[in-house]
Amino acid sequence: MNEKIKVFLPYLIIIVAVVFIKAFIVTPIRVNGSSMEPTLHQKDIMLLNKAAYYFSSPKRFDIVVVDMPDEYLIKRIIGLPGESIEYKDNTLYVDGKEIKEPISNLETDDFNIEELGSDKVPDNCYLVMGDNRKNSLDSRELGFIKEEQILGRTSFILLPFNRFGNVE
């Protein structure tokens, strides 16, 4: 093997590995806006797990990154395919049953999925909302999010260091 190739081969392998990991497994992503407060804050840097749904489907309350035409949105999954979703008096009801959310003190205006023109979340779609329900562009305005629009799950804050770690 040529000496020059021997010298550069380890660097080439590292570059290819980093590009592969960033393209298919994990990549950093920045929170833009206040729609996920108090859970996430403007300019938090998080890890996007692109491989999270290769072998499974998104779950209720996962924090996901949604690919929109002009930007990425970070939201929480509230409704799964085939479910009827309603908020009444700040309480989430799924198929008529009360569901406790992982975040306390959420203020959510009354909402019924029928306002989106359907009595259930369509197949391969999800209903997503920001944790800051009073200031969030989400499924209530955008409609249902298709599964292929979900780039992955994010639940780990890298920066700032005082917020480093997992979020729920």
Closest CA to 36 of 138, 112, 162: 138
118 is catalytic: no
CA–CA dist 6, 70 (Å, integer): 43
**Could you say which of 35, 50, 136, 139 is catalytic?**
35
Task: Give me 17's structure tokens.
Answer: 């590995």
Task: Give me 87's structure tokens.
Answer: 């908020």
145 phi and psi angles, rounded to 5 deg: -100, 125
139 is catalytic: no
**Could you say which of 50, 75, 136, 139 is catalytic?**
75
121 DSSP 8-state letter: P
- The residues that are catalytic are 35, 75
